[in-house]
Structure 1
Amino acid sequence: MKSQDIRKAYLQFFESKDHLIVPSAPIVLKDDPTLMFNNSGMAQFKEYFLGNGTPKSKRIADTQKCLRVSGKHNDLEDVGFDTYHHTMFEMLGNWSFGDYFKKEAIDWAWEFLTEVLKLDKDRLYVSVFEGNPAENVPFDQEAFDLWKQYVSEDRIILGNKKDNFWEMGDQGPCGPCSEIHIDLRTAEERASVSGRDLVNADHPQVVEIWNNVFMEFNRKADGSLEKLPAQHVDTGMGFERLCMAMQNVTSNYDTDVFTPLIAKVEEITGLKYTSNEVKNISEEQNKTNIAIRVVVDHVRAVAFAIADGQLPSNTGAGYVIRRILRRAIRYGFTFLGTKEPFINKLVEVLANQMGEFFPEIKAQQQLVTNVIREEEASFLRTLEQGLQLVDKVIAETKGKQVDGAKAFELYDTFGFPIDLTALILREKGYELDEAGFEKAMQEQKARSRAASVVSTEDWSVLIPGNVETFVGYDQTENDVKITRIRKVDSKKDGVLYQIVLNNTPFYPEGGGQVGDKGTLVSANETIEIIDTKKENNLILHFAKQLPENVEANFVAKVNTDLRTSTSKNHSATHLMHEGLRTILGTHVEQKGSLVNPNYLRFDFSHFSKVTDEEIKQVESFVNARIEAQLQLVEHRNIPIQEALDKGAMALFGEKYGDNVRMIEFGSSKELCGGIHVKNTADIWHFKIISEGAVAAGIRRVEAITGKAVKDFYTNNENMLAEIKETLKNPQDVLKSVVSLQDDNAKLKKQLEQLLKEKIEGLKNTLVADFQEINGIHFLAKQVDLSMSSTKDLAQAIGTAQPNAFVFLASIEDNTPNIHCYISKELVASKGLNAGNVIRELGKLIDGNGGGQPFFASGKGKNVGGIKEALEKVVDFIKF
C-alpha cells in the first residue's frame, strides 16, 4: 500500500467505529505555554483530558503532525544515524474521552493491523505495564487478559514504568500503556534470536508501531497519583514506521514517505543513496546516506513549521526551526558537497506529495521555498565566515590542541557547527579539546536551566466543577468568585499566583493581543492582576499575591485605559490587513502580529520592500475607514463554513473550532477572538512608523493609533520648533537645511584635502624615523590624528618602505587606537602577523581588535597604555 492509502485506511476504519475524523492541529502551538510544538497526538486534546473542556465527540480519530526536537522528547541528534527516528512525524491516533476503554482499544488495534492491513501476526509482540508497588499501581491484568485472546503469553512482554507508563509531563493525566511492536527481520534472523528479546532494545527492525495509553490517573506536584473522574484512551501509531512494515522494507527512509525527496537530492547532488537492504557499504557511502537522511527528514519539519506560521529566528520556537534547518545545511555542505542553496528545491516535491491531506503546505509553498532559500544563503555565508574564524583560532593556538572554550565560542556566538570545526582541525593537523568544549557547553546549559526552572504546585480547587465563562466582550467589570488557585515559582518571574474565576471580563493573551491587566477588588482589599493568559482552556489571572480571603466576593475590573488603547490597535490591524491586500495584492497574508496598548506590529507575506508611496496609500486607506465611522459588526459562535462563505479571512497555522467569531468593519472581515472598538472613529488616526524585512518574503510593519499618534505629531512639532530656533528662525526651514548641507559638503571636501596634505607631510617626516632592526624597517610612533586618518597614515608609510613594520597610535575622543602594518614579504618570510600584534598589545589599552596578517587595527579604553604599547612592540621583531 502507498502511504496515502495507509493513512486513508486508518481514518476510514475508525470512522466506521463511530469516530469523528478531525484535521491535524498546527505543528506550532500558540496557546499552550507548556509546549513549543505539538509533540504528540494528544497535545491538542489536553483540555479534555484535564476536564477543562468538552470535545465535539467522545470518539475522535486523526493524523497529527508532531515535532520532537526540544525538551523531554528530543530526537534531533538521533535523526539520520538510524532509520526510524524523525524530527517531524505523523501520529495516527484514536481517542476516547470517557467512552470506551481498554477492551475496544485493544480489539480495534488488533483488527486494523491484522485484518485490514493483514500484517503477519507472527511478527507482532505486545507489552503491558508490570505494575509499580511504590506508587500503588498494580500489574495491568485487564490488558494482559485481553491480549491473551489474540497472542500467546510468550508474546506478551511486561514493561516497566519507563516503557509502559505514559505521562503528559511532570504533572497531569497519565496511565499505563500497552504497546504493539513488529519484528521486520528476515526469517533466518528471527529463527536465530527471538523478537521478544529485542523489544524496546533500540533494534532498527524490531520497532514499536502502536501505543495504547489508558488515562486513569492524575500526577500531582508531590509525585503522587490520584484517580481521574473519567477514564480515557489516548492511542498513537507511528505513520512512518507503519509504512515501513506495510511496504516490506527495513527503513522508514525506504518507504514512499521519503523516497521522492531522496530522489530529488540525488538529482541535485549527483550522489546516490543506498537502501537499507544493501549491506557492507563503504564509510564514505555511509556518510552520504546519513547526510541525505538528515536533509529529507529536516526539510519536512522546517517546511511544515513555516507553513504553520513559525519563521526561523534567534529565539524560542523560531530558534529551534533555524537549528533544524542549519543542521541539514551543514550535512549537505560537509558530506554532499552543496555549496549553494538546494534544500528549498525539495519543497515542491513535498507539497506535491503531502498537499492533498495537508493543504497548508501546498498553499504556502512559495513562501516556504523563499524562506528556506534565504536561510540557506545566510547560513552558507556564515559557514564561509566560520572557516576564516577557525583559521584565526588556529593562528592563536600554541601547540596542536585548540582550546575547547574557543571552539564553543564559534559554536555559540557565530553558529558554527562543532563537528565541522573538529573536521577542519583534523584536516589541518590539529585536534579539538573536546573536554573543554563539553565543559563550556554544560556550563551554558546549566545557566539556561537555572533561568527557566519553574515549580508549579497543584491546583487548590475552591469551587469544583465550575466551567469558567468569558464575559469581556460586553463587560469590563463584574462580580466574580475564585474557583481555583495555584502557586508558580520561576527563576525568571519569581513567585506568582494563578487565579481562575467563575467568570471573567479579562481577555487572555491570544491571537497576537496581549492579556488584560486590572484588579480584583473585595470589601477589604485590592489585588493587582498583572497579566492574563490561557492554558488548557483555563483563563489564568496572574498576581503577585493572593487575597487574604480567597472565598470572598470580588469585583473583577479590567484596566480600561490599557484595554481601550489595545482595542484601537487591534481594529486598526484588521483595517491595515485589508489595506495591504488591496494595495499590494491578495498574496498578502498575515504571518504574525502583536497588539498591545502602545503600538501594533504586523508581519505579512510580500516579496519586496513596501515603498514610501505604498505606505502612504495604506495609511490613507485605513484613515479613510476611520473617517467613515464604520460600525463594528460582530458574529459570535457561528459555523466556520458560514463565516468563510461570508468572506472572512482565516489564517494558516491557527486552530479554529466548528464555531467561530467573525469581526466586520465594512468590507474587512476576519475570524478573530480579540477585543475591538465599537466604531472605527474611536481609533482617531492611524500612522505607520516603520517597515522592514523579517525573513525572505516576510515584511513587518509597526504602527500607532489614537493618543500615540497625537504624541507622535506633537513630538515632531516640538522637534521642528527646536530646529527652527537653532537655525535662527528662518522663514523657509527646508531651504535653510539644504543650504547647511551644501556648506557642510564643501567644508568636508576642504577638510579631506587638508587631511591628505597633513598625512602626506607626516609620511615624509616619519619615513626618516625608520630604524633598521634585523633587516626590518621598524617604526613606532604616536600621532595626532583621528582613528581613520591614523589607519591611512600607517598604510601610506608602510607601502613607501620595503620590509616595513609600522605601529602607530593615536587618541580620538579620549579613546586610544592602535594600527599595525607589516609588509607582505615579512609576513611570508618571518611569519609576522599584524593581527597577533594588535590582539596582544590591545590588552595594554584595555581593548581588542584584529585584522589580516599584513594589517590590523584596534581600540580600547586606557589611554595610559599607549606608552607601554609603543615600548613593547619592538619585541615582536627581536628574533
Structure 2
Amino acid sequence: MADEQVHWSAAKVRETFLRFFEERGHTIVPSSSVVPHNDPTLLFTNAGMNQFKPIFLGTAGNTEMAQLKRAVDTQKCIRAGGKHNDLDDVGKDSYHHTFFEMLGNWSFGDYFKKEAIEYSWELLTKVYGLDPDRLYCSYFEGNPEMDLPPDDEAKQLWLSVGVKEDHIIPGNMKDNFWEMGDQGPCGPCSEIHYDKVGGRNAASLVNMDDPLVVEIWNNVFIQFDRQKDGSLKSLPAKHVDTGMGMERLVAALQNKESNYGTDAFTPLFNKIQDVTSARPYTDKYGKDDVDGVDTAYRVVADHLRLLSFAIADGAVPNNVGRGYVVRRVLRRGVRYARKYFNADVGSFFSKLLPALVDQMGGQFPELVKKQEDIKEMLDEEEVAFAGTLDRGEKQFEKYAAVAIKNGEKNLSGADVWRLYDTFGFPEDLTRLMAQERGLEIDEKEVAIAREKAREASKTVKEAAQTFPKLNVHQIAELESSQVARPDSEPKYSRGDIKSKVQLVFTGTEFRKTSKDLPPKTPLGLLLDRTSFYAESGGQVADTGRIVIDGVTEFKVLDVQEFGGYVVHNGYLEYGELAEGDEVICEYDELRRSPIRNNHTGTHILNHALREVLGEEVNQKGSLVDQDKLRFDFSHKSQVSLPEIQKIEDLSNQYIRQDAKTYTKDVDLDLAKQIEGVRAVFGETYPNPVRVVSIGVDVDELLATPKNPEWRKVSVEFCGGTHVDKTGLIKDLVIVEESGIAKGIRRIVAYTGSGAHQAQRDAVAFSEKLDDIAALPYGADKTAKIKATSVELDALVVSTLTKEQDLKPKFAKIQKEVVDEQKKRQKAESKTALDTVQGHFKKDETKDAKFFVGHLPISANMKAVADVLTYYKSKDKERTVYVFAGSKDEAVVHGVYVGTHLSSKGVSAEQWTAAVTEVIGGKTGGTPVSRQGAGAEPAKLDEAVAKAEEWLAKQFEELKL
C-alpha cells in the first residue's frame, strides 16, 4: 500500500521524480511552452516528447539540446482540440483532463530497454512504495503482417526485475507500438498499469477503459525509422521516451480512486467553494452526482488550469485555431459556473486564479509572471460572453422545448448553428446542454446549416463594399418626415442596449418593413438609439448584430453616419423587422476592445512623436482597427532607430502609468485654448467638441487652459472610443516606419495582445535562427536560409527587434555559410584539379592526352568549370571530361576538348550529346568546351562509361 496522502503531496511526487533521475545522470529540462510556436503541426503541446522532436528527427544540429544524452522533465500538456481531444470527457470520469502534467525520462542514444525498465520499477515500487501486486506491465506482441517480431526482450526484462508472469500482458499495435507519424522514428512501447482496487488479478482489465485499472507510465523504445514505402529500418542510435501522467500517479500514491480526489485539485475545489459558497466537493460521478455540482467542480478546476497555462504561454482567445479552443473552453466553464454554482459571470475565473498560482507557480513561474495578463484576459472574455449567456440559454430552452414537444430526439442543426452564430455558444457547449435535456445533435445537419449560412453571408459581405450612402435628397426626406436623428451616446458605454426600428433603407427607398424583400438583401437600418460606432475619425465601424431573440437576427457588417443619421448596413439572417420593433443592439465587444486599445494608443503615440521629433509633427491621417493602429504625420526625414526607441519607450511609460482617460464635450473656442491640444489641420470639428485627455481631468485643463504643464499631457479633439485606463493597452510596439509621400511618414504599431503576439513571434523567429545557425553546413541549411530570408522580409514584429537583432543575426548566419561555401568551393576546386593532374602524373604513357572520370567532390559546377578553365588556358593539348556529384543526389559534368583532338574534328557538343542520352538534362558552351547538369543522377556510372566509350570510338575512327 502507498503511503498516506499527507506524505505524498503532488508537489513532492513531482520533485521526487525529477530528483530520482537527476541522481542517475539526467539533466532536468524545463517544460516547454504549452503553445508550440515553432511547430505548426501541433495545436497544443500534447506530450512530453514534443520539445525533443529535433533530436529524434536529427535536426537539433549543434544546439544545447543536441548535447543531451539523458533528460528528465515535467511537461505541461493540453488535449482539447485536434487529434487529441479530451474536452468532452472532462468532468464525467475520474481521470480525463484537458490540462495535465506529463512526467518523463529520456535517453538519446544512451541507455535503452534494460535501464529504462529497471528505473521505472525501482522508482514505483522502492521509492514511491507502490504495491507490486497492483502493477501490470504490457509489451508489444508483434505484427507478422508488418514483419515486426514480439518484443520478447521487454517481457524478459520485466520478469528479471520481479514482475509476475501473469502480470505481464501482450499488447497490439494500437496500444504498444508508438509512431511519430506516417514516416520517421517509431518503436514498441511497454506500459505500466495500476489497479486501484488490489487483492485480485486485474490482467483482463488492462487497456479495457476500466476507471479502476489505469495506465500510469509508458516506456517507448524508439528503435526503427519508418520509410516512405512503409518499411522499417533500424536506427543507428536508439532512444527511450517515457511519459507518466502525474495526476494519475498522485491518485495511486494517495490511495484515491479519482485523480480529482487528490491535492492536485483540492486547493482549487476549496477556492471554488470559497468564491461560490457551494456545497463541498464529494467526488461523485454520473447518476450518483445528483445535482451535478461535483461534475461542475471538476470541469471548472480543469478548465481553469487549461485557460491559465494557455494564456500564459501566448494562446490568445479568438475565433481561430488554438485561440478558439481557449475561448470555447472558457465559455463552457462559465456556463457550468453559472448553472451549478450560481456564480456571477464577469470575473469568476480570475477570482480562482490566485489558488492555482499559489499551487503551481513554484514549478511554473510563468503563472506568477503573467498573472495580471491572465486575469485581464479571463475577465475580458467573461464580460463579453456574459451579455449573451442569459439570452442564449433562454433561447436554447425555447428550441429544446419545441423539439421535445414535437417528439424529436435531435435538436435542429439550424438551431445549433444559430446558437453559435448569434450567442457564441460553441457546438460542444450546445451538445452538453442538449444532453442535459435528453436531446442529441445531428452533426450533418449542423454542417449543412453552417455551410448555407457561410455561402449566404459571403455574397452579402461582397456587397458590403458598395452599401449605398444617404445622399442629400434622402437626408432631406428624413428631415421632412420628422425622422429623429438617433441617440448615439450609448456607443461610449459597454454592453447591449434596447432600441427601436425607425426605417429600413434599401438604397433607393425607405420602408417601414423588410417584409416581401428577397432573402439576404443588403439593407440599412435606422434606429432611434444605437450603441454601434459609425466609421469616423480614422476608427473603423463596429460590427455585430441587431436581434429580437428567437425571432429575428440582423447581421451588422458596417455602420456609417450621414448628416447625423446612423445607418446600420447588413442583412437579415432570419426573420423580419418593421418600424417600431423593439430590438437589442449587440456590437462585437471582443472586436471593439482591441480597437479601443489602438485608438488610445494612437493618442499616446501622437504625443510621443511631438515630444521626440518636435513641433513640426502634425497628424496627416490615421486608421484604427482591431488589428493595428496606423498613423501618418509630417516629418522631413526618416525616423531613425534611436528615435523610434525613444518614441516607443515614451509611449510605454505613459501606458504603464495606468492613467485614466477623461472625456468631455466642450465649447470649441474654449477647447482650442488648452495648451498643447492636438487637432487635425483642416478638420472641421463640431461645437461643442469632444475633448479626450489622458491622465488629467478635462475640467482641470479648462480651469487653467494656458498652463504649460498641459503640453506633457495627451489632449486631443476626438469622437472615438477609448480605454478607461492606459494600463489596459499593456504595450505598444512599432512594427513599421516608412515614407508615403514627400515630407509624410507613416508608423504602424500594435497594442495589447497584438503587441504581445509580435513579441512572441520575434522570440520564436530568433530561436528559429539559433536552430539554423546550429545546423551543420549542407544543402538543408542552405535551403532553410533561403526560405528564412523570405520569412524575415515578411515578418511583422518590432522594428527595433527586427533591425537591431534579427537582421544582424541572420546576416551573420548568411556570412558564415557564404564563407564556408567559399572555403569548400576553393577546397573542392583544388581537389578536382589535383585529381585530374594526378591522373596525368601517374599515367606511365608520357604522351597521355586525356582524362575521363568521376571526381571525388559534390555536384559543384564551379569546381568543374575551374578544371576546364585550367586546361583551356594552361594545358591546351590535353582533353578532360569530368563528372561531379553522386547518383543519390545530383550530378554535373563538363568537357574540354584539347587541341590534340579538336584539330582532328572531335566536337564537345557531339560528345556531351552522347552522354546526355544516358543521364538526361542539357548542356551549353562552345565547340571545344561544354557544361551541364544531369537529370538522372542514378545513371552516373553509365554516363561515365558512355563518355569513355564515345572517346574510344573517336580514337578508333581517327586511328590515334
| TM-score, normalised relative to structure 1 | 0.51
Partner of 2:294: 289
What amino acid is the match of 1:301? L
Whether 1:416 aligns to 2:425 is: yes
Whether 1:268 aligns to 2:339 is: no
Partner of 2:44: 37
Indicate the RMSD between aligned Cα atoms, in angstroms.
4.6
Give, in angstroms, the shift of residue 160 of structure 1: 0.6
Kept in 1, the 8 Å contact 2:48–2:243? The answer is yes
Kept in 2, the 8 Å contact 1:68–1:87? The answer is yes
Structure 1 residues 657 and 34, CA, compared in 2 at 3 Å: closer, same or farther?
Answer: closer
Partner of 2:714: none
Q: How does 1:438-517 map to 2 (within 5 A)?
A: 439-441=445-447
CA distance in 2, matches of 1:146, 1:258: 36
For residue 372 of structure 1, the aligned residue among 375, 378, 387 is: 378
Whether 1:133 aligns to 2:204 is: no
Give, in angstroms, the shift of residue 56 of structure 1: 2.9
Structure 1 residues 577 and 222, CA, compared in 2 at 3 Å: closer, same or farther?
Answer: farther
Give, in angstroms, the shift of residue 216 of structure 1: 1.3
Query: 1:729-762 deviations in whole A, cap 9, x for unaligned?
Result: xxxxxxxxxxxxxxxxxxxxxxxxxxxxxxxxxx
Query: 1:39-62 deviations in whole A, cap 9, x for unaligned?
Result: 100000101101111423111111
Partner of 2:177: 165
For residue 655 of structure 2, the aligned residue among 561, 565, 584 is: 584
Kept in 1, the 8 Å contact 2:414–2:446? The answer is no
Unmatched 5+ stretches in structure 2: 1-7, 455-637, 660-721, 744-758, 774-798, 812-960
Partner of 2:349: 343
Kept in 1, the 8 Å contact 2:113–2:154? The answer is yes
Whether 1:49 aligns to 2:56 is: yes
CA distance in 1, matches of 2:56, 2:732: 50
Partner of 1:674: 806
What amino acid is the match of 1:179? E
CA distance in 1, matches of 2:154, 2:87: 33
- Secondary structure of 1:125's match? strand
Kept in 1, the 8 Å contact 2:38–2:764? The answer is no
Give, in angstroms, the shift of residue 272 of structure 1: 2.6
Whether 1:179 aligns to 2:187 is: no
CA distance in 1, matches of 2:431, 2:315: 32
User: Once the two structures are aligned, what percentage of the paired residues are identical?
Assistant: 44
Kept in 2, the 8 Å contact 1:19–1:59? The answer is yes
What amino acid is the match of 1:356? G
CA distance in 1, matches of 2:441, 2:17: 49
Structure 1 residues 614 and 106, CA, compared in 2 at 3 Å: closer, same or farther?
Answer: closer
Q: How does 1:807-846 map to 2 (within 5 A)?
A: none
CA distance in 2, matches of 1:613, 1:151: 60
For residue 65 of structure 1, the aligned residue among 62, 76, 79 is: 76
Partner of 1:75: 86
Partner of 1:156: 168
Kept in 1, the 8 Å contact 2:193–2:215? The answer is yes
Give, in angstroms, the shift of residue 71 of structure 1: 2.0
CA distance in 2, matches of 1:253, 1:408: 32
Q: How does 1:280-359 map to 2 (within 5 A)?
A: 282-285=288-291, 287-341=292-346, 342-359=348-365
Give, in angstroms, the shift of residue 267 of structure 1: 1.8
Partner of 2:686: none
Partner of 1:14: 21
Give, in angstroms, the shift of residue 80 of structure 1: 0.8
Unmatched 5+ stretches in structure 1: 449-566, 589-605, 628-647, 662-666, 680-879
Partner of 2:555: none
Partner of 1:499: none
Give, in angstroms, the shift of residue 357 of structure 1: 0.9
Partner of 2:257: 250
Structure 1 residues 143 and 447, CA, compared in 2 at 3 Å: closer, same or farther?
Answer: farther
Give, in angstroms, the shift of residue 85 of structure 1: 0.8
CA distance in 2, matches of 1:674, 1:582: 25
Partner of 2:107: 96
Following TM superposition, the consecutive aligned residue runs of length 4 or more in structure 1 with deviations greater than 6 angstroms are 278-281, 394-398, 422-427, 442-448, 567-576, 611-623, 648-661, 667-673
Kept in 1, the 8 Å contact 2:220–2:242? The answer is yes
CA distance in 2, matches of 1:616, 1:184: 53
Structure 1 residues 15 and 371, CA, compared in 2 at 3 Å: closer, same or farther?
Answer: same
Give, in angstroms, the shift of residue 362 of structure 1: 0.7
Partner of 2:823: none
| Higher Rg of the two aligned structures | 2
Give, in angstroms, the shift of residue 411 of structure 1: 4.0
Structure 1 residues 338 and 408, CA, compared in 2 at 3 Å: closer, same or farther?
Answer: same
CA distance in 1, matches of 2:12, 2:641: 44
Give, in angstroms, the shift of residue 281 of structure 1: 7.4
Kept in 1, the 8 Å contact 2:648–2:732? The answer is no
Q: How many residues align?
A: 509
Query: 1:372-420 deviations in whole A, cap 9, x for unaligned?
Result: 1221222222222313544775899895648612222134423325687
| TM-score, normalised relative to structure 2 | 0.47
What amino acid is the match of 1:405? G
Partner of 2:623: none
- Secondary structure of 1:226's match? strand
Structure 1 residues 214 and 571, CA, compared in 2 at 3 Å: closer, same or farther?
Answer: farther
- Secondary structure of 1:48's match? helix
Greater shift, 77-86 or 337-346, is seen at 337-346
Structure 1 residues 29 and 437, CA, compared in 2 at 3 Å: closer, same or farther?
Answer: closer
CA distance in 1, matches of 2:208, 2:37: 36
Structure 1 residues 331 and 132, CA, compared in 2 at 3 Å: closer, same or farther?
Answer: same
Structure 1 residues 122 and 329, CA, compared in 2 at 3 Å: closer, same or farther?
Answer: same
Query: 1:503-549 deviations in whole A, cap 9, x for unaligned?
Result: xxxxxxxxxxxxxxxxxxxxxxxxxxxxxxxxxxxxxxxxxxxxxxx
Structure 1 residues 53 and 363, CA, compared in 2 at 3 Å: closer, same or farther?
Answer: same
Structure 1 residues 14 and 671, CA, compared in 2 at 3 Å: closer, same or farther?
Answer: farther
Partner of 1:405: 413
Structure 1 residues 94 and 409, CA, compared in 2 at 3 Å: closer, same or farther?
Answer: same
- Secondary structure of 1:213's match? strand
Kept in 2, the 8 Å contact 1:127–1:157? The answer is yes
CA distance in 1, matches of 2:25, 2:290: 52
